[in-house]
Every structure is written in structure tokens, then in C-alpha cells.
Amino acid sequence: GNSVTQMEGPVTLSEEAFLTINCTYTATGYPSLFWYVQYPGEGLQLLLKATKADDKGSNKGFEATYRKETTSFHLEKGSVQVSDSAVYFCALERDTGRRALTFGSGTRLQVQP
């Protein structure tokens, strides 16, 4: 079946530090990959996505590249801010069959001033 594995958190960084949150997946076919962000007490918002191998999704300084050879979609940001503190979820959606997102367990990011 489909699955998504994320690095465990919390990840604690100082402001302006470099961020990497690892994400690997297992899926048949050619899934689309997503990063969603959840701020405290709220629902999820799409951060970025990539729909095929070697695509790079980017938004608000965050980037992730769809690596089919390593089945990975790691999230990176060059300089984090306190306002980036949130929970980040990696997810996939298959290109056939059930059209529903499969999520990783989430990684909490805490950025200290």
C-alpha cells in the first residue's frame, strides 16, 4: 500500500538557520507529492506540490524536489523565521484508484528568535 515516512520532531532551530525535513514515500505508479502546513489550532494549508519526477515545488522560500530514484521529497528552506513555526506534513496522492491524500505523521518545527 501507500505510505509516507517523515523525520520525527520536534525540530528546533534558531531564526535564519537552514531547514531540512526529510520525507520518503512508498507508492505504485506515479503519485503526486505535497507538503502541507498546519498552524496551531487550525486546518492544513497547501505549501507546495510536485506532480512528476524531478519537478521542484516552491513557495514562501520553501522548496522540495520530487526524486523518484530515492522516493523522496525533502522540504528545505534557506533561512527560517519565527513565523514558520508549525507542523509540516508530507503527503502523496496516487494517479489511479483512490483519489485521497496519504499523510506522513507530521514534523513539528519550532523556530526560536
The SS3 assignment for 13 reads: strand
Of 21-29, 64-72, 73-81, 88-96, the window that binds other proteins (rule: CB under 8 A) is: 88-96
Task: List the grid coordinates of 44.
Answer: 492544513
Q: Does 98 bind other proteins (CB under 8 A)?
A: yes
For cell 535564519, name the residue: 16
Residue with smaller CB distance to other proteins, 3 or 14: 3
Between 17 and 67, name the residue whose CB sits nearer to other proteins. 67
Question: 17 vs 63, which CB is nearer to other proteins?
Answer: 63
Burial class (CB in 10 A: 0-12, 13-18, 19+), 9: middle
46 contacts 34 by C-beta, under 8 angstroms = yes
The most distant pair of C-alpha atoms in the chain lies apart, rounded to whole Å, by: 45
Assign residue 54 a region: left if phi > 0, alpha if psi is -120 to 50, beta otherwise? Answer: left
Q: Residue 66 Cβ, how far from other proteins at the closest point, in Å?
A: 12
106 binds other proteins, rule: CB under 8 A: yes
Q: CB-wise, 55 or 76, nearer to other proteins?
A: 55
- Chain residues binding other proteins by CB under 8 A are 4, 6, 32, 36, 41-46, 49, 51, 89, 93, 95, 98-106
